[in-house]
Amino acid sequence: MSSKYSLITALGLTLASVSFANQATINPEPREVLNLDGKWNAIVDPYDTGYYNYRMQPLDEVEQPDVPRSQIGFYKDKSPKSKNDFLEYSFDHSSTLTVPKDWNTQDQKLFLYEGAIWYRKLFNFSVKTDTHVFLHIGAANYQSQVYLNGLKIAEHTGGFTPYDVEVTDKIKADRNSLVIRVINRRLKEGVPTINTDWWNYGGLTRSVYLYETPKSYFSNYNVQLNREDPTKIEVSADLAGANSGSVSFDIPELKVHATAQTDANGHASIEVSTPDSLVKWCPENPKLYEVCLNSGSDKVCEKIGFRTIQVKGTDILLNGKPIFLRGICIHEENPVRGGRAYSTEDSRLLLGWAKELNCNFARLAHYPHNEHMAQVADELGILLWEEIPVYWTIAWENAETLKNAQNQLTELITRDHNRASVIVWSVANETPVSEARNTFLHTLLVQAHTLDNSRLVSCAMEVRTKEDPNLKIVDDPFGVYTDILSFNEYVGWYSGNNSVISKIKWQLKYAKPVVITETGAEGLQGYHADVETRFGEEYQAEFYRQTIPMLRKIDTLRGICPWILTDFRSPKRLLPNVQDGWNRKGLIGENGNKKEAFHVLASFYQQIRDNGYETK
């Protein structure tokens, strides 16, 4: 067992919602051998007929030798044996859904659907000797059961993080039937819970593929500068399937080469001196180096940037120098095409708009986005805040809810801990203060720091008001533990109007760098009125003109991350002819056109970029 998974066990975490040995994912893409994306046969199953018998017992858990074949679970993927054979389902004659893609935008009948859909893919596979074969599922929102050739091989809870399951001894050469049941029903004890301000896209929303490894392979590795001493590069690697061996580490461009022996658990640690010629990754010069690890039997290479991120007093230090985070929040949605964003092209579109806005920072809200976002951010030089969906009101005292949140955090950190762009792990957004909530969040914060001590950990807090409506107070007790003080504020939209913004004063309990994680107002693209008319582009633009100087009154302000880059779908936004199921706080409309407020914020960020930032 690798040191990462030993650590997970020590923390009391599980890598799946049941006892299946799912793995958190570390860079499987270069190993890809068979992509299963494309058209899958699909059965919409609102009554869960293919999963439960008439007594609501799971068909894959109950022995029923006398049950009619019509009631055999869909996961068996049966076909009639004769003209008298009785079956009430057929994948072969079902319609298809595209993977990766949400189901909501593929069929109007599924637009509001919340329930179960069965996906089926047939494939052949040439099995090699002396290898492991893994099935990789990039994301399935929200719960999924996976069956290969009629056998359940995995269960997973969490709609935004990847998981792998080994299928080496279960796969066949010809006509494998892969069936995945995906359920997007909202759950009170879920993470997120029932109430969210974004669209509940269902389905296999990211890629599904098989990949192959040697018998002894790298299950995890981490490469980074030592945060306290950047003259050293630290490398850790875990070999699965071998008790011991030799590991080499190379950065060819820098002529770095080092070796180390693994311990009895397959873990190796390497420390090398940082070459004088190393160029540190930063937004102005997002330099990436090809880094390779070789064990003799296995070799992995990927592009990695080297940088440090720290807090000193009330400053955020990137590579030892203060930085102001010129940010924007982003949902994982392509507003032009409609639906869940999932591709490299989607990431380039969204982050390309952020670059046009003169951003050096983006908050990926309110859940882990697809892996391409961090990869493209590495290339473009955009720092990232990544978050798990502990959102609004969670079942704080439910032990399984905590395990679920821990698992999602583990899977996110495991996937992205080699991305230079990621500088903040966020454990929550706008959660009400209570003792149970504080304990819940502190557990997640400790976990994040334990799994990755090289980045900052925070959450998006709320602002409160007492007697003076113009005095805004931030004193959330969880602020004692976070590395930065981050909070959302909507003065001028949910509190008063634009005329009150200039009157606002701030009272902050903690002397930490402040990052505003949300601020904004709605404006319908193309709707023009005066600056006092809500939902007009002019109101939204005036909101930003008033809010920027108001926030600059905060002496410790070190970043602004307005809500949000683009309009996005939300079933909570119901105003006819204005919202129509869209949150209109985007700086870009659903048609891809920029609103007036986009240019207001872009001008402010350009001023900071060109002239530096000083608090006023």
Q: What is the DSSP string of 44-108?
A: EETT-TTTB-TTS-BTTTS--TTS-GGGS-GGG----SSTT---S--STTS-EEEESS-STTT-G
Average pLDDT estimate for 160-177: 94
**pLDDT at position 468 over 80:** yes
The correct CATH number of 15-214 out of 3.40.47.10, 2.60.120.260, 3.90.226.10, 1.10.600.10 is 2.60.120.260
Give the Cα separation of 487 and 548 in Å (integer).
15
Query: Strand, coil or helix: what is 302?
Result: strand
**pLDDT at position 61 over 90:** no
Average pLDDT estimate for 390-401: 96
Of 247, 169, 242, 165, give the one whose Cα is nearest residue 208.
Answer: 165
**Neighbour tally for 562: CB within 10 Å:** 26
Of 228, 276, 229, 26, give the one whose Cα is nearest residue 134.
Answer: 26
Instruction: Determine contact, residues 186/194, Cβ cutoff 8 Å.
Output: yes
Q: What CATH number does the domain located at 217-307 have? A: 2.60.40.10
Of 518, 517, 602, 525, give the one whose Cα is nearest residue 567.
Answer: 525
Strands (E), 373-477: 383-387, 422-429, 456-462, 464-465, 471-474
Rounded alpha-carbon distances, angstroms, from residue 380 to 32, 125, 369, 384, 434: 25, 37, 17, 11, 40
Provide CB contacts within 8 A for 222, sequence distance 6+.
Answer: 234, 235, 236, 237, 417, 418
Instruction: Determine contact, residues 286/351, Cβ cutoff 8 Å.
Output: no
Of 379, 377, 328, give the one whose Cα is nearest residue 568.
Answer: 328
Give the Cα separation of 455 and 449 in Å (integer).
8
CA-based R_g, the chain, Å: 25
At 556, the amino acid letter reads T
Give the Cα separation of 236 and 3 in Å (integer).
9
Average pLDDT estimate for 333-352: 95
In terms of C-beta density within 10 A (0-12 exposed, 13-18 middle, 19 or more buried), how is residue 173 classed? exposed
Of 21, 153, 39, give the one whose Cα is nearest residue 101.
Answer: 39
Instruction: Determine contact, residues 37/176, Cβ cutoff 8 Å.
Output: no
Rounded (5°) CA angle 551-555-559? 55
- pLDDT band (50, 70, 90) for residue 64: low
Instruction: Determine contact, residues 154/165, Cβ cutoff 8 Å.
Output: yes
Give the Cα separation of 156 and 439 in Å (integer).
25
Q: Which fold has domain 321-611?
A: TIM Barrel (3.20.20)
Average pLDDT, the chain: 92
Domain ranges of the chain: 15-214, 217-307, 321-611
**pLDDT at position 195 over 70:** yes
Average pLDDT estimate for 568-576: 96
Give the Cα separation of 111 and 584 in Å (integer).
20
**pLDDT at position 5 over 90:** no
Q: 63 or 51, which is more confident?
A: 51
**pLDDT at position 22 over 90:** no
As given in the structure block, the two tokens for residue 104 are: 């909501």
**pLDDT at position 295 over 50:** yes
Query: Strand, coil or helix: what is 30?
Result: helix
Average pLDDT estimate for 479-507: 96
| Range with the poorest average pLDDT among 17-26, 219-228, 455-464 | 17-26
